Amino acid sequence: MNLEEQAFAQEFIRLATDGDARGWHERNGGNLSYRLTAAEIEACVDCFHNTAPWNAIRTAVPVLGGAFFLLTGSGKCMRNVRFAPAENTGIIEINAAGNAYRLVWGLTDGKPTSELPTHLAVHALKCTGGKEGNRVIYHAHPAHLIALTFILPLDDALFTRELWEMDIENPIVFPEGIGIVPWVIPGSEAAAAATLEKMRSYRVVVWAHHGTFVCGDTFGDTFGLMDVLEKSAQICGEIIAMGGKRQTVTEKNLRDLADMYDLKLNEAALSANSELEIGIKLCYTVHK
Ligand code: 13P
Ligand code: ZN
């Protein structure tokens, strides 16, 4: 079986295709990485070459020593991934010390995503001693979420609370809330460091005026998480455009939901008062 036919590669391609269909990947916007399991590395090892040079990783990731990642290339488009996986994606190997990587498959005329520092920093945080989970990290440019970062205060609790109110499933899907990073230079070590800090508490980090990073155990979980966030942001934007809320989901409603579903909801988001702190009172006439 060739590498592109492996189940993990097929799921990677499906996520890239679905994200493109949602309109989250204009031009080369967004990127995706997946940490292979030991069995997947074993199944693919005959497809790997060992001729590419090692490249230094500026902020070493010792915990990822010996790991392999399938990822999108810099400047490559999600819409092309399904047509030419080996041109638009590649597999990198991390050396034993976790301070260098080399290409072992694919990206025939390219290099890994410019957001590699953030992907590796978050993988290092989320991979806990070979645990099966948290293998997928996905960055997209969903328009409604980006738009909200021009309107809502860049505050984790307020952003979380607004999105929770938009869809009853949301407190169940991301009970821990979401993190917001103020504008950062794309591809920078500073962006990676800021994202890492927020990812210590969350699985979702929104980069103001740019896009969103999410991580998940499976490709399906990861795509679903991006999807609920973006749909909720769309509803929120429509409410703002309609002149604001006249009624909404209350703190008590959310606490009742938490009791029923045994959720540990982010306390700061639960008690956030969007009416007072939203900063766009003219639009918002909230009666809770
Ligand atoms: P890459 O093409 O290098 O992955 O960059 C796209 C992007 O969205 C940067 O934030
Ligand atoms: Zn981006």
Domains of the chain listed by start with CATH number: 1-138 (3.40.225.10), 142-288 (3.40.225.10)
Mean pLDDT, the chain, rounded, equals 93
Six-digit token pair at 255? 């606490």
pLDDT in tens, 7-52: 999 999 999 999 999 999 999 999 999 999 999 999 999 999 999 9
Tokens describing residue 45: 């090892």
- Ligand in nearest proximity to the CA of 111: 1
Residue 132 has what pLDDT? 66
Is the minimum distance from the CB of 75 to ligand 1 under 6 angstroms? yes
How does residue 128 score in pLDDT terms, banded at 50, 70 and 90? confident
Contact between 78 and 64 under an 8 Å Cβ cutoff? The reply is no
> Does residue 284 carry a pLDDT above 50?
no
Q: How far is the CA of 216 from the centre of ligand 1 (A)?
A: 20
Q: Which residues, in sequence order, are bridge partners of residue 254?
A: none
Measured from the CB, is residue 114 less than 6 Å from ligand 1? yes
Pocket-testing residue among 139, 184, 206, ligand 1, by greatest number of atoms within 8 A of Cβ: 139
Q: Is the CB of 80 under 6 A from ligand 1?
A: no
212 lines ligand 1 (CB under 6 A): no
> Other C-beta atoms within 10 Å of 183: how many?
12
pLDDT of residue 119 exceeding 90: yes
Whether 87 is a known active-site residue: answer no
Determine the Cα–Cα distance for residues 87 and 267; give it in Å rounded to an integer.
46
Q: What is the pTM of this model?
A: 0.95
Q: Give the whole-angstrom CA distance, residue 160 versus residue 59.
A: 30
Using alpha carbons only, what angle is made at residue 115 by residues 111 and 119, rounded to the nearest 5 degrees? 105
Q: Which two tokens stand for residue 27?
A: 């031009």
Q: Determine which one of 11, 115, 162, 165 is catalytic.
A: 115
- Measure 195 CA to ligand 1 centroid, in angstroms: 15
Task: Summarize pLDDT for 164-182 with one digit per residue, the tens.
Answer: 999 999 999 999 999 999 9
Give the C-alpha separation, 195 to 225, whole Å: 17
Count of C-beta atoms within a 10 Å radius of residue 275: 15
Percent pLDDT > 90 in the chain is 90
pLDDT(278) > 60: no
Residues 152-168 have pLDDT tens digits of: 999 999 999 999 999 99
Protein residue whose Cα sits closest to atom 1 of ligand 1:
74
